[in-house]
Amino acid sequence: MLSVRLLGPVRASVDAREIALGPPLQRAVFTVLAVRRDQVVDRGELIDAVWGEALPGNPEGAVHTYVAGLRRALEPVRARRSPGRFLESHPSGYRLRLPDPEATDLARFERLADEGRAASGAGRLPLAERLLDEALALFDGSVLGGVPGPFAQARREWLAAARQSLAEDRAEVLLARRRFGAAAAEARRLADAEPLRERPWALLMTALYRDGRQAEALAAYDRARAVSAEQLGLDPGPLLGELRQRIVVADPSLLPGGPREAEPGERWVDLPRDSDHFTGRTAEAARVVAAAGRGVCAIDGMAGVGKTTLAVHVAQRLAGRCPDVRLYIDLHGHTPGRRPVTAAAALERLLLAVGVPGERIPAGAEDRAALWRSRLAGRRALLVLDNAVDTGQVRPLLPGSASCLVVITSRRRLTGLDAGESVSLDVLPFTDALALFAAVAGPDRVAAEPAATEAVLRACGLLPLAVQISAARLRHRPAWTVAHLRDRLAVEERRLDELAAEDRSVEAAFALSYRSLATGARRMFRLLGLFPGAELGLAAAAALCGVDVVAADRLLEGLVDCQLLDEPRPGRYRLHDLLRAYAARECCRTESADERAAALARLADFYLATVDGAEQLLRPQRLDRADPSAPRTGAEFGDRAAALAWLDAERGVFAPLVETAARIGRHRQAWQLARCLWGFFEARGHWTDWICCHELALPSARLLGDRLAEARLLVGLGVAEHRLRNYPAAVSHYRNALALMREAGFRSGEAGVLTNLGNTLRRMGRTAEAIECQEQSLAGCQAIPDQAGEAIALANLGDLYRDAGRLRKSLAAQEQALAMFRKWGERRWEGSVLDGLARTHLAAGATEPALVHCREALECRRACGDRAGEAETLDTLGRIHLRRGDLAPARSALTRALAVAQALDTPLADDIRRRLARISGGPPSDAENNTPDP
């Protein structure tokens, strides 16, 4: 069977298989034959239709070639010279056989249009609206898209006029059904599309007047008059002039008569049709169905997340349970240019919809609510209250009968509802977003560019409205590739501008929610757009906004209730990516450059103070503080575990914040923030984060001319590169830092750099040089004196002496270092030295004391959250068991060590894998060395 689509890009399919219609002129020949279905089209007529006056050299031959191409496409396996199944040759021309009277969407359109108009004339308005909707829904983009020639152009113009006229008929039906708001919206769209046609303006003026919006109706006339004067130099015709006068004098005949009373067996039904592209939401739909089945269910979520789409979809599923009444009303809680519908006005519309004559509707809202409840008593009714502004708006509309089901949508969480349940919508899962994009844009284009499609969906934040808009833009631009769309969306500053199509816009949807906020909440929201990370805590938000924590908590919770902010965990907040872009744009529009810089400066000060306090718990023996005299403006922690938990939660913001502080000229905060993260990055093994932060901070130290700050950052880079086993890079950083330390006369720092340099030289197999460095460091620390540096140098000398086979000196140095660290309560260093002692005893063949020290080391490292150290000590434990011949506990320890090392993504994981692979084991490798803090 052959089916043809003409009311969009021209397509054809045979037995549900789409066929390639060939080049544009061949498609033009096919289009003429399809429009003139089952009629013989003369060759001369075909030539005129395709080329007009711009004839080729041999038009008859060209037609013959294109017809042959179409035959091959329609019937690729047809025997040569056999009669065609679809395309027939006649002496004078050709005929496309389409036995099915509705094989083309054009034929279906014509039938539905005729039937819809007939139903409207007979007063069967719900049927008329449905038929007209079906007819208009057949249009899919540019009519006869991709088809050249005078015939196609003339047919396009005729179909555009037919579509406009039918849409005007539909608006008339909406007016007759008392759906004034919907009629006005449709008429406004039609008037914008064809501003010189008077009928849409008349429909718009009438709908607005009947909706109680007399001033807007007169403003519509003024606009129509301005357009007519500008383009024609004339006033509108008498139709609009007379209508305006009737509106001015409030002519009662303009108002509709009361609605018909329900005839026996008639039902009151007015639900929108389900979306053609409804995708996913299986779990959410089931929850709404279950909740609504018990009475009332409220669906909330951010703008564009698909609340109305889900509500209508669920309503269609529930329709069978409610045969008596099925009504939908838009409460305009967030509609451009509209105030929210009052409860009294909504009740009037609902009462009219169920057949109550206007003269019998009480004036007061309470009386109307009582009549509404009595009207629905005992009826099996379904009510969709869409786009509610708050609980107060919907509470009077709720039926009192248990036989009634209600589905409410709102951008707010309707926590004030006395009964019912709530379902909060999140963005779509990736697979559902992909399915929605493919359904709108076309599966072939998506399948051809999967990587680009994923990037587009990520740029849309998986928000259904954004996905639909981007897919619709792609569908209606055949020349675009998905990669081209991806590139347009890749520019973050322009992304919101790209996510707009006709009257739909992601930015406009967000703007309605934003403008409904109070002044303080607006300011908090837009300042959140400056935050450089993905997620922030309450105290950080308070610092950014310059308010106390109590006020910040109130503002943030209000934004959560309005679905402008997520709260993934208590006290942790996150903006959707597109909302972040919108907030940043509003911030740039509203806040001055100085105000924006001040907010970011407050944020940098907060984080520096907080990280500095956390570092004091992680490394109490460090040699420097960010600014000991500065007031404590950051969060404070009771113990090391609390500090680490906060640092873990904030990890993603540190590098962006260092970069931001440098960008706004807060160079001291930039380099000190990186410096104060030493203990956290080392405890958790975040070596790449360490390098990133230090590299971002290094230019700030140099711009300040602070040679000591530069040296300290170079030491940090050396430590991280050492941990990643990039030893030559580490040596280079250490030597540069050493020169700066000596230039500054910072002897304690010089000793620390020598210690770290010795550690790296040891890993490079240069043991003698390493021992020399460590002994110089020890001597320097003793001369200053610097007991912390002295203890670190002793611990590292213990490892080096073990490497050199000087085991007694190794044990002596490590025992001395252990006593010092225990005296100060430095458990992280204690764990490191105990691990070194275990390895020295193992090297001496004394596995029992090695085992004792190793278990003590493991306890220390776990107690202080030193995950990297824990992996090293578990590795040591495994090697001790191997030396003792205990394969099962060796395998267990090494397996645990590997799990930790893999989680931290450290190079040690490769060593452990090799050890597990040859479980019999070779000689053990040495542990990582200690890295002092100069």
List the chain domain ranges.
Answer: 2-106, 108-254, 269-424, 430-505, 517-591
Distance CA 504, CA 506 (A): 7
Q: What is the DSSP string of 728-748?
A: HHHHHHHHHHHHHHHHHT-HH
CA distances from residue 685 to 658, 691, 907 in whole angstroms, order as listed: 19, 12, 11
Q: What is the pLDDT of residues 346-368, one digit of tens each?
A: 999 888 888 787 778 888 889 99
- Under a CB-based contact definition with an 8 Å cutoff, are residues 751 and 793 in contact? yes
Give the amino acid at 239.
Answer: L
Q: What is the DSSP string of 669-694?
A: HHHHHHHHTHHHHHHHT-HHHHHHHH
What Rg do the C-alpha atoms of the chain give, in angstroms? 38
Q: What is the DSSP string of 591-623?
A: S-HHHHHHHHHHHHHHHHHHHHHHHHHH-TT-S
- Under a CB-based contact definition with an 8 Å cutoff, are residues 447 and 453 in contact? no
Distance CA 69, CA 85 (A): 15
- Under a CB-based contact definition with an 8 Å cutoff, are residues 785 and 618 in contact? no
Phi, psi of 803 (to 5 degrees): -60, -40
Q: What is the pLDDT of residues 829-867, one digit of tens each?
A: 999 999 999 999 999 999 999 999 999 999 999 998 899
Give me 64's structure tokens: 């013959």
Cβ atoms within 10 Å of 594's Cβ, excluding its own: 8
Distance CA 84, CA 281 (A): 47
Report the length, in residues, of the chain.
934
The list of the chain residues with pLDDT below 50 reads: 258-266, 921-934
Characterize the bridge pairing of strands 268-270 and 566-569: unpaired
3-state secondary structure of 104: strand
Distance CA 891, CA 885 (A): 11
3-state secondary structure of 479: coil
State the DSSP H helix or E strand holding residue 93, giving kind and residue range, or none if neither.
strand 93-96
- Under a CB-based contact definition with an 8 Å cutoff, are residues 147 and 27 in contact? yes
- Under a CB-based contact definition with an 8 Å cutoff, are residues 669 and 661 in contact? yes
Q: Residue 229: what pLDDT? A: 86
Q: Quick one: which of 391, 386, 353 has its CA closest to 372? A: 353
Distance CA 671, CA 680 (A): 16
Q: Residue 275: what pLDDT? A: 76
Which burial class, exposed, middle or buried, applies to 224 when counting CB atoms under 10 A from its CB (0-12, 13-18, 19+)? buried
Q: Which CATH class is domain 2-106?
A: mainly alpha
Name the CATH superfamily for 269-424: P-loop containing nucleotide triphosphate hydrolases (3.40.50.300)
Q: Quick one: which of 638, 688, 693 has its CA closest to 660? A: 693
Give the amino acid at 568.
Answer: P
Contacts of residue 263, Cβ cutoff 8 Å, sequence gap at least 6: none
Map 514-567 to HEC letters: HHCCCHHHHHHHHHHCCCCCCEEEHHHHHHHHCCCHHHHHHHHHHHHHCCCCEE
- Under a CB-based contact definition with an 8 Å cutoff, are residues 172 and 202 in contact? no
Q: Quick one: which of 675, 671, 537, 661 has its CA closest to 618? A: 675
Q: Residue 79: what pLDDT? A: 62
Angle of CA points 913, 915, 920, to nearest 5°: 145
CA 316 to chain centre: 28
Task: Quickly tell me which residue has 């929210």 as its tokens.
Answer: 340
* CATH code of the domain occupying 108-254: 1.25.40.10
On the question of a common fold for 2-106 and 269-424, the answer reads: no
CA distances from residue 469 to 390, 451, 505, 649, 765 in whole angstroms, order as listed: 28, 19, 8, 35, 61
Which burial class, exposed, middle or buried, applies to 509 when counting CB atoms under 10 A from its CB (0-12, 13-18, 19+)? buried
| pTM, entire model | 0.61
- Under a CB-based contact definition with an 8 Å cutoff, are residues 422 and 294 in contact? no
Q: Answer left, alpha or beta for residue 337, where phi above 0 means left and psi between -120 and 50 means alpha.
A: left
CA distances from residue 144 to 7, 151, 472 in whole angstroms, order as listed: 6, 10, 18
* CATH code of the domain occupying 517-591: 1.10.10.10
Whether the bond between 785 and the residue before it is cis, its omega within 30 degrees of 0, is yes
3-state secondary structure of 417: coil
Which burial class, exposed, middle or buried, applies to 920 when counting CB atoms under 10 A from its CB (0-12, 13-18, 19+)? exposed
Distance CA 202, CA 200 (A): 5
Phi, psi of 804 (to 5 degrees): -80, 0
Distance CA 868, CA 684 (A): 6
Distance CA 74, CA 85 (A): 9
Distance CA 143, CA 328 (A): 32
